[in-house]
Structure 1
Amino acid sequence: MTDLAELRAWQPFEITADGGQGTPEALAELLRGHEDFAGLLTREKAVVFRGFHLTEETLDPVLNLLLPNRLAYVHGNSPRTKVGSNVYTSTEYPQELTISMHNELSYGRRWPSRLVFFCATAPATGGATPIVDGELWLASLDPEVREAFAGGVRYTQNLHDGLGLGKSWQETFETSDRAEVEAYLRGAECDWKWLPDGTLRITQVRHSTLTHPETGAEVWFNQSDQWHPASLGDETAAELAQILPEEELPQSVTFADGSPIPAEHVLQVRDRGLENAVDVDWHQGDLMVIDNVAVGHGRRSFTGPRRVLVAMTD
């Protein structure tokens, strides 16, 4: 494991246009001329571009260079809106809420290797995208918590048929074709069943950590804290428990063997991820690329309008 002091000192790598007077064309030219951007991203884990005055209208050529195979947000569990060719709004949770750290689609059989965030409208206050080194996140957890998660986790989703809590299966898979959904789930090594009311219940057992394919670092790589009722807060969790049993919640999680995960474990995971994160503050036109295995990301609360778009590649 890398020295903890070195991990705590980590910051994303910033590339700023001379005098902040760059152009989208200049950024595209910079990327085309870079000999090994993939290697740079592996070394730095996150790269932020500032001062190139990108807009939504000029974003596509840059995304084409950074994300050669732009992916759809299929099987994603957070609310967002598709605004372009596999370009989406970032998670549309209320602005007063902080979104805890996570790696995109880490609960799936496959996940994107790289994400791009683009700031179309900067918030009045707050709204940073915190990013956390996954190796540091893992090292920050108490030994008994790391040991408890060693066997992996089991995720359960209940995706309604158009009316209910959370996202529908049609929204989640961007199709209304059951056969297409089932083909995806077979490829993703999920178990599923259709309930009488049209709800799709999906279960999948996944790892809790992952070895980075390039660096060999072991990183925290699961979304147990976001799927656990404890993350909702005591009051909200209690209200939901009165309405639905845990197995019928839109999403829930246990250890891989089906035993419950203690609330204090997932709260430690959530809190230490946020405590060890580095905030990336946004200015209109900024763009950030992250290695989705090396670092997790989240969102700080904010005021005023905020529009951050996200796209991903395998």
Structure 2
Amino acid sequence: MTNTATQRPIYPFGDQPFALGMEDYQVDCAIHTDDLEQAIRGQWREQGLVVLKNTGMQHLSELQRWAEVLFQDFAAYEGGSAPRDKFGKHVFALGDAPPTIDLCFHNEGCYLPVYPRCFVIGSTRCPQEGGFTLLADNEKATQALLATDIGQKLKDKGMRYVRMMYDRELACELGYKPWQDTFFTNDPREAEQSVQAKGWDYEWLPNGHLRTSYSVDAYEYHPELDKSLFFAGLASHAAFFDQWHPFNAMPDEERPLNMTLGDGTPFTNQEIADIYAAYNHASLALDWKQADLALLDNLRWAHARPAFTLQAGEERVLGVAMGMMTERVGNRF
């Protein structure tokens, strides 16, 4: 087993000069009064990212109406790996990870057979310092990653995601997300049906935990770009919990999330560092003091959140809406 009681050295992110600027993707709603929806749709098609300011948004439930400019089929987050509260029918809260944790770059739902192509994120309150959401241009990150040994291994072997979900009905001090909340049921048979429908392998453990695993291409074809892009993320790797007690005292194989190469080979620290470096190659910071929300192509852009500190009286309140549901097709190299 992989014993990682101490934090492994990984490539830093969020503290380097950013290669891209948020202002290059902003649309000012105070200026585009007559053609706002057209401007949003056009920029989303061309750049895959629209950052809106001066929306007048008062509550995160309003993210739904902005998302409806691009899609109507909202994700229910069934099968999602992180705990989620809700601000409205289709708007989920962020903030499941402690602020002291670095939430690594990832594409939302990359471990699912059907994923949200569009990801809408917004904020109503943020700290004066830090608390950014980071975005990485996945087209440029993929190019950088394919120039590395691990990028080629991922191309050849794919990715394997492993999850450990505890039973909410049993006492568990190390609970992250129970299978009941993941599959919206208290019936183990219904949970199994959901797992089987997704094509995942699964096993009920003696302690009541449900362990699932799923192998898939590490790259996904983007039809408009006619390119295969890296579609994964280290937020599903056990290293995500290196800063999080008590999970960091557990072997990788027992943590709530882990990922390996498709053949089960663990990632080395250098390979993790190379993936971080690829994302940092072309990233930007969403400063929520200067923006209300962002609509992004979830295949074309990855997102992350560095650790941050809240001062007395400060809050960081974010929400997300997801949709434009798309079946995985794998790579087209």
Q: Distance in 1 between matches of 2:63 and 2:245?
A: 39
Structure 1 residues 247-289: Cα deviation after superposition (integer angstroms, max 9, x where no partner): 3321222211122221221132134424531111113871210
Out of 188, 197, 200, the residue aligned to residue 190 of structure 1 is 200
Pick the aligned partner of 2:30 from 5, 8, 18: 18
Deviation per residue, 1:151-177 (Å, 9 max, x gap): 101111110102333211112223223
Amino acid in the other structure paired with 1:240? A
State TM-score, norm by structure 1. Answer: 0.83
Pair 1:202–1:176, CA change in 2 (3 A): same
Shift of 1:190: 0.7
Query: 1:46-125, aligned counterparts within 5 Å?
Result: 46-56=49-59, 58-125=62-129
Amino acid at match of 1:147: Q
Q: Number of residue pairs matched?
A: 294
- In the TM superposition, 1:1-314 aligns within 5 A as 13-18=25-30, 30-31=36-37, 34=38, 37-56=40-59, 58-141=62-145, 142-150=147-155, 151-162=157-168, 163=172, 164-223=174-233, 225-233=234-242, 239-241=248-250, 245-274=251-280, 276-283=282-289, 286-302=292-308, 303=310, 304-313=314-323, 314=325
TM superposition shift of 1:62: 3.0
1:206-246: CA deviations, max 9, x gaps? 111112122112211112x23333444499799524xxx44
Q: Give the AA of the match of 2:186.
A: S
- Cα distance change, pair 110–58 in 1 and its aligned pair in 2 (3 A): closer
CA contact under 8 A between 2:120 and 2:320: conserved in structure 1? Answer: yes
The 1:195/1:10 distance shift into structure 2, 3 A limit, reads same
Provide the C-alpha distance between the structure 2 equivalents of 1:261 and 1:161, rounded to a whole number of angstroms: 29
Whole-Å separation in 1 of the counterparts to 2:70 and 2:260? 36
**Hey, which of these two has a bigger chunk of helix by percent?**
1
Change (3 A) 1:274 1:79: farther
Q: CA deviation at 1:51?
A: 0.7
Residue aligning to 2:13: none
- Could you tell me the percent identity over the aligned residues? 26
- Matches of 1:51 and 1:67, distance apart in 2: 22
Q: Which moved more, 1:151-160 or 1:250-259?
A: 250-259
Q: 1:138 deviation in Å?
A: 1.8
Q: Structure 2 vs 1, CA of residues 182 and 213 (structure 1 numbering), >3 Å: closer, same or farther?
A: farther
Greater shift in the superposed pair: 76-85 or 110-119: 76-85
Structure 2 unaligned segments of length 5 or more: list them: 1-18, 326-333
Structure 1 residue 69 displacement after superposition? 1.2
| Runs of at least 5 residues in structure 1 that lack an aligned partner in the other structure | 1-7
Moved over 6 A (4+): 234-238
Aligned partners of 1:15 and 1:47 also within 8 Å: yes
Report the CA distance between 1:96 and its aligned residue: 3.3
**Range moving further from structure 2, 256-265 or 276-285:** 276-285
Q: Go from structure 1 to structure 2 and tell me whether the alpha carbon gap of 1:70 and 1:230 turns closer, same or farther (over 3 Å shift).
A: closer
**Matched AA of 1:83:** F
Q: SS of 2:56's equivalent?
A: coil
**Offset, 1:59:** 4.4
State the TM-score, normalizing by the size of structure 2: 0.79
Change (3 A) 1:249 1:279: same
Q: Structure 2: how far apart are the matches of 1:300 and 1:10?
A: 17
Contact persistence 1:103–1:292 (CA under 8 A): yes
Q: 1:301 to 1:175 in 2, by over 3 A?
A: same
Assess if the C-alpha contact under 8 Å between 1:169 and 1:200 holds in 2.
Answer: yes
Q: 1:110 to 1:276 in 2, by over 3 A?
A: same
